[in-house]
Structure 1
Amino acid sequence: MDFVTMLLVLPFVFLTGFYVLRSKNSKLPPGPYPFPIIGNLLQLGRNPHISLAKLSKTYGPLMYLKLGSLKTIVVSSPDMAKEVLQKHDQAFTGRFIPVAAEALDHHKLCIAYLPVGNEWRKYRKICREQMFSTSRLDASQGLRQEKLEKLCEYVRKCAVSGRVVNIGEAAYTTTLNLMSATLFSTEFAQFDSDAVQEMKLVIGGYLRVIAIPNLADFFPALKMIDPQGIKKESEIYTAKMLSMLDDIINQRVKSRDDDHSSRNDDLLEVLLNPTQGNDDYDLTREDIKHFLTDLLIGGTDTSADLVEWGMTELLRNPNKMSKAKDELRVVIGENNRIKESDISRLPYLQAVMKENLRLHPVVPLLVPKKTEVDVEINGYMIPKNAQLVINAWAIGKDPSIWSNSDSFEPERFLNNKIDYKGQDFELIPFGSGRRICPGLPLASRMSHLMLASLIHNFNWKLEPGVKPEELDTNEKFGLTLHKVVPLKAVPIIL
């Protein structure tokens, strides 16, 4: 048989083999038939969250795909999400670890990828007790208020000079400084400075390479080759972040040696002095660097995206903006600044954020899980070591759940008790169950505060020639959902 004939015959051989295997394992969920070798990879497209949502309309809310050699289960409905995240939670506690996350062994010390066990529980305990508990967050309100005032001061300067504000960059700077102050008692960036760009390059670069479809993930035999250079690029960003944190720790240790009475009220101080917190917090220097990397990366990009998308939708819908501003004026008062305790008295603002999260979930496909054992769901067998993907974006756009699902309608949440804190599976942008995003309490407070401050203290107009209904809402898929075209608007002092 000559080479050309072999090339023509091989695909049919692969397909025949697949059909035979599929018939033997007919309890797999339905899904599109894969191409030889590559499986369903070509069907993912540039925006997998959208492509998978379209496929689910044909094959159902529990769908099977073969991505290279990787068995993948896609969940696209609240009922199926509840099955895997609540009823069968024990079977899905594992994480699918992308090759990019293995750079410098980060996955071995990363709370997002650690298996559920003693190490994972230790990090979750630190997050709960030292970062995200109600008492801790209440005690650190002044810090967030300080960052909000700096944001408003920057926007006010832009208003005086008639300058355009890049909403995403301003929100990113605010959130980055909040996280760095909480973790290290320092600010990493200034508005309109190169430092913001440098830090965003590192964090954004890391998030980008983690989200790139990697052949080495789909074909483990290619792992050592790293054909796309993704792991190598991830190592560059990871090394930069760890080096930066190494310098911060060195400076802190030196300052404490020089002045034994000097102590900071931040997480680094707790981690370096476990006796101040709890003996269970005893971490090595490497543990601390990787843990702080997780918190810094996970807590910065997402909140900034939320604020940018929220402002985009309000500027596209001037009547919704007016309702939000009217509520703030009545509840807060025209010349008063918003406080965290006010959020509970602002139902329309809360509805705006819920609708924002429905349309633009922070992580559209959540963080992929891995099945620990074979498990049967709705009569279908989910095989061990399969990747489980939950399409939060598709659930938020499902017209059978949400009327006018593509429209921005905060009013739908005014007489609706659905929330995004993991109990209502129609809206799970932060996940649910034991592996729900630990930073949800802080992200919720900060995103509400930033959005409210921007709309309460300023009026906004779009750049010349841009109409509200023409504002770009195209999405750039990644680990987080970015706007393709950054939102820019001109603030006006009230």
Structure 2
Amino acid sequence: MVKTSPALGQGASALRDNAMDNVMTRRMGRCNVKLFVLISSPTLAKQVVRDQDMKFANRNPTIAALAFSFGGKDIAFTPYGPEWRMLGRIFVHEMQSDANLDAFYALRRNQVKKSVGDVYGKNGTAIDVGLLAFSTVINMITSMFWGGTLEGDIEANINAQFRDAVSGLLVLWGKPNISEFFPFLACFDIQGVQRDMKIASRLIEQIFDFVFL
């Protein structure tokens, strides 16, 4: 139960009511050992993942996430500490700085123009908007990765492979895994989630090796 003092006013009461309505906890798995916190409010989600990120920095990675991130060695699953802060600084400085975003503006604009052209060329036919948006984002990412080093059929082939690999990763990340609820089954990998995630990860590594090495 969340309690607030009357002296804190209506704002605190509204925050309390929001938390009570939109934060749920569930214990699942053998002997209820797994505690899940469900947040259904965009405002509270922003507090958790952005404004109060240091307090919620330690997250339990799933089996799929561990397989993809070499045992949780990335910014999403590294425990809060010096390494996590270093990764955060690198991420902000190298990927989110205004200078870097401006440098890739032309590449992003070019991919959007290509997508608009594809839609225009399919006049009168049905278009999967979700697939179009996903493909556009992936093409933006790959164009920034490759930096114009690939052209023509080679670029199209590599982009298609990368898009398929990322699609597979997203499916595996969201796939319910019985081993998450019954940890003693994890070593058996009954559903093959860990195996498939490692295969998809190796495919992405091979793509990067082909382009950059």
Same-fold call, TM cutoff 0.5:
yes
For structure 2, the residue ranges without an aligned partner over 5 or more in a row are 2-19
Letter in 2 for 1:157: G
CA distance in 2, matches of 1:132, 1:83: 20
Report if the CA contact (8 A) 1:70-1:219 is conserved. no
| 1:84-116 deviation digits (Å, cap 9, x = unpaired) | 568865442101200112226524332222223
Instruction: Spell out the pairing of 1:91-110 with structure 2 (5 A cutoff).
Output: 91-103=55-67, 106-110=70-74
CA distance in 2, matches of 1:149, 1:176: 14
For structure 1, the residue ranges without an aligned partner over 5 or more in a row are 1-26, 28-58, 251-494
CA distance in 2, matches of 1:188, 1:115: 40
| 1:214-251 deviation digits (Å, cap 9, x = unpaired) | 1211222112111221111111111111121122221x
Letter in 2 for 1:210: W
| Helix, strand or coil at the partner of 2:100 | helix
| Helix, strand or coil at the partner of 1:110 | coil
Report if the CA contact (8 A) 2:158-2:207 is conserved. no
Aligned pair partner of 1:246 in 197, 209, 212: 209
Q: Which residue of 1 aligns with 2:111?
A: 147
Distance 1:84 1:244, change over 3 A: closer
CA distance in 1, matches of 2:159, 2:93: 30
Question: What RMSD, in angstroms, separates the aligned Cα atoms of the two structures?
Answer: 3.3
Does residue 212 of the first structure (1) align with residue 175 of the second (2)? yes
Letter in 2 for 1:102: L
Q: Which residue of 2 aligns with 1:117?
A: 81
Does residue 136 of the first structure (1) align with residue 96 of the second (2)? no
Q: Which residue of 2 aligns with 1:181?
A: 143
CA distance in 1, matches of 2:180, 2:208: 29
Report if the CA contact (8 A) 2:180-2:186 is conserved. yes
| Helix, strand or coil at the partner of 1:109 | coil
Report if the CA contact (8 A) 1:189-1:195 is conserved. no
CA distance in 1, matches of 2:47, 2:133: 36
| 1:302-341 deviation digits (Å, cap 9, x = unpaired) | xxxxxxxxxxxxxxxxxxxxxxxxxxxxxxxxxxxxxxxx
Structure-2-length-normalised TM-score: 0.72
Report if the CA contact (8 A) 2:112-2:136 is conserved. yes
Q: Which residue of 1 aligns with 2:37?
A: 73
Deviation at 1:188? Answer: 8.8
Q: Which residue of 2 aligns with 1:333?
A: none
Instruction: Please state which structure has a larger fraction of its residues in helix.
Output: 2
Does residue 62 of the first structure (1) align with residue 23 of the second (2)? yes
Count of matched residue positions in the alignment of Structure 1 and Structure 2? 191
CA distance in 2, matches of 1:189, 1:66: 52
Q: Which has the higher contact order (CA 8 A, sep 6+)?
A: 1
Distance 1:196 1:165, change over 3 A: farther
Letter in 2 for 1:225: F
CA distance in 2, matches of 1:110, 1:87: 20
| Helix, strand or coil at the partner of 2:72 | helix
Instruction: Spell out the pairing of 1:44-443 with structure 2 (5 A cutoff).
Output: 60-68=21-29, 69-77=33-41, 81=45, 89-103=53-67, 106-159=70-123, 162-186=124-148, 198-250=161-213
Letter in 2 for 1:133: S
Distance 1:88 1:178, change over 3 A: closer
Structure-1-length-normalised TM-score: 0.34
Distance 1:119 1:65, change over 3 A: same
Q: Which residue of 1 aligns with 2:8?
A: none
CA distance in 2, matches of 1:184, 1:75: 37
| Helix, strand or coil at the partner of 2:134 | helix
